[in-house]
């Protein structure tokens, strides 16, 4: 990928995928009596997911994909579906976060509900990332021209710039701690 915005989105995807793998490893603890899931680790993961992708990543993608729709590419329904998925994933993230917040407060939540909700969520997230990387990012590279990218960059500056240095460092540190905790 030659475009800086797509490179950033792709890097975000790699980080999100790593976080999803860490969440999957924690969720397995609810189905495996040999493992003890860490609710604090799960809450850190859900904090990262509910903030970084939803506040800074998806809004940039939305701008890119809407511009792509303006170019009348083949299969526009795929683009529209991914745009709708951003809203669906945000809703699912909140459902999952609420369920685990109840667990963190020692409120009884059926384990089967946690496991099922988390498993569905993980599958949806990974399919979403794959659709963007394998179909939409290459389509954006093919159909968007330099002037489109210039306008996209101008439109996304406010989104990208809304993450102050302190927040960026905080979420970079959170990402590192999530990944490193899984390695330990």
Query: What pLDDT digit, counting tens, does each position of 9-55 carry?
Result: 999 999 999 999 999 999 988 888 888 889 999 999 999 999 988 88
pTM of the model: 0.90
Instruction: Give dist(CA 108, CA 157) in Å, integer.
Output: 44
What's the Cα-to-Cα distance from 181 to each of 25, 29, 96, 169, rounded to whole Å? Answer: 11, 15, 21, 18
Helical residues (DSSP H) of 132-164, grouped into ranges: 137-143, 146-161
Grade residue 129 by pLDDT with cuts at 50, 70 and 90: very high
Instruction: Give dist(CA 65, CA 142) in Å, integer.
Output: 13
Instruction: Give dist(CA 104, CA 85) in Å, integer.
Output: 28
- Crossing angle of helices 76-104/58-70, nearest 10°? 170
Grade residue 164 by pLDDT with cuts at 50, 70 and 90: confident
Q: Give residue limits of the domains in the chain.
A: 4-183
- pLDDT tens digits along 71-126: 999 999 999 999 999 999 999 999 999 999 999 999 998 988 888 899 999 999 99
CATH number for the region 4-183 comes to: 1.20.120.520
Instruction: Give dist(CA 61, CA 45) in Å, integer.
Output: 21
For residue 74, give the DSSP letter: S
């Amino acid at each position: 990928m030659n475009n800086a915005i797509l490179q950033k989105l792709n890097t975000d995807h790699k980080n999100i995928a790593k976080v999803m793998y860490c969440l999957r490893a924690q969720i397995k603890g609810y189905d495996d009596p040999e493992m003890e899931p860490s609710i604090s680790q799960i809450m850190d993961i859900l904090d990262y997911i509910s903030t970084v992708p939803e506040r800074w990543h998806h809004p940039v993608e939305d701008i890119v994909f809407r511009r792509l729709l303006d170019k009348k590419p083949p299969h526009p329904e795929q683009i529209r579906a991914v745009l709708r998925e951003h809203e669906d994933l945000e809703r699912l993230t909140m459902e999952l976060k609420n369920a685990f917040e109840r667990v963190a407060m020692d409120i009884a939540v059926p384990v089967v509900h946690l496991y099922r909700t988390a498993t569905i969520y993980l599958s949806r997230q990974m399919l979403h990332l794959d659709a963007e990387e394998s179909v939409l990012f290459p389509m954006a590279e093919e159909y968007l021209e330099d002037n489109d990218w210039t306008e996209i960059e101008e439109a996304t500056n406010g989104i990208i710039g809304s993450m102050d240095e302190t927040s960026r460092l905080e979420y970079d540190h959170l990402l590192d701690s999530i990944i490193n905790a899984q390695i330990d």
